[in-house]
Amino acid sequence: MCNKDEQRTDKSLQGQVAGRDYKDIISNISERSQKCAECESCRRENQQSESGSWNNEDDVIPHRIPVLPRNRTFASGDELTQLINLKPSQSGIDPRTDITGLIQGLQLRIENQEVLKEFMALEHVKPIDDCRIGKAPENQNKNRYRDILPYDKTRVPLGEKNGYINASYIRMNVGEEEHFYIITQGPLPSTMADFWQMVWESESDVIAMMTKEVELGQVKCHRYWPESPYDSKDLANFYLRLHNYQIMEYFIIRKIEIINKQTEEKRIINHLQFITWPEHNTSKLAEQLVKFICYMRKAHRNGCQQHGEIS
């Protein structure tokens, strides 16, 4: 994520990716293949009495995505294929060989259920703190699930009073680069305004939505974005409208304009929604995920260069 004031220091974690701060928001990451989703569903059914949602709001199942009146091409299939060849190989090996090996390795790990086993093992990882702020009575209704809470040490504070949102800072080393993200639950109807406040305060320019809105009949994420140019959202501190979009085979690119009511400042946020979680054909899924991540990084780099501009 890029900050306009490079000298500014705040509560946010600061990191560098290719010389730029990187703090994209990951919306409720879904690490699961369909097998993992089914297993997780069984686990939640067995633990319903002790780990159900704190929240009793009417989070209704959303309707299908409506037909939108305009469409702009931000990325072509050929461009996405080229994106996976980010850097020339110093060893002289065709970079496509490396990415092919990565995809094949990921496919094998999914087929052998290694990814599923890693996910299930997370339940047994010893927590680093008690998540007391997330468990506080005044914050219980802000959590989609009572057993998925941010650590107090790494949670994202909101506003001058360090308000609560179910979101955490994530630091990750990728090769020689250091990436910083914010990971958060799928917003509830009552936390949508908090979500966009976090986006604004963090000066994030990319939201990567990896969850389904509905999974196995359960709402996993409230529709927190404007779905059409005629369906703007009026929040307490912000206006949102869909500036443009592109529907691709396996993800949707949205350019969302956010307007600060108090200052009238406008920014454009890249909202990338991954929509393909197939029951089979995991090899294709692996390739799509790699392309999605490559486009996400490109959108962030471009966002840093053109932060706040509307084209």
**Domain boundaries in the chain?**
23-44+67-305
Which region, left, alpha or beta, applies to residue 164 given φ > 0 means left and ψ of -120 to 50 means alpha?
beta
Q: Give the integer Cα–Cα distance in Å for 35 and 127.
A: 26
Q: How many CB atoms sit inside 10 A of residue 239's CB? A: 16
Per the structure block, which two tokens stand in for 245? 């979009």
Which H or E element spans position 171? strand 167-174
Nearest to 226 by CA among 200, 199, 245: 245
Q: Is the pTM of this model over 0.85?
A: no
∠ at Cα 195 (186, 249), nearest 5°?
50
Above 50 in pLDDT, residue 43?
Answer: no
Per the structure block, which two tokens stand in for 110? 């999914």
Residue predicted with more confidence, 141 or 86 = 141
The per-residue pLDDT of the chain, averaged, comes to 75
Three-state SS for 207? strand
Average pLDDT over residues 120-149: 91
The CATH number for 23-44+67-305, chosen from 1.10.3730.10, 3.90.190.10, 3.40.50.720, 3.90.1150.10, is: 3.90.190.10
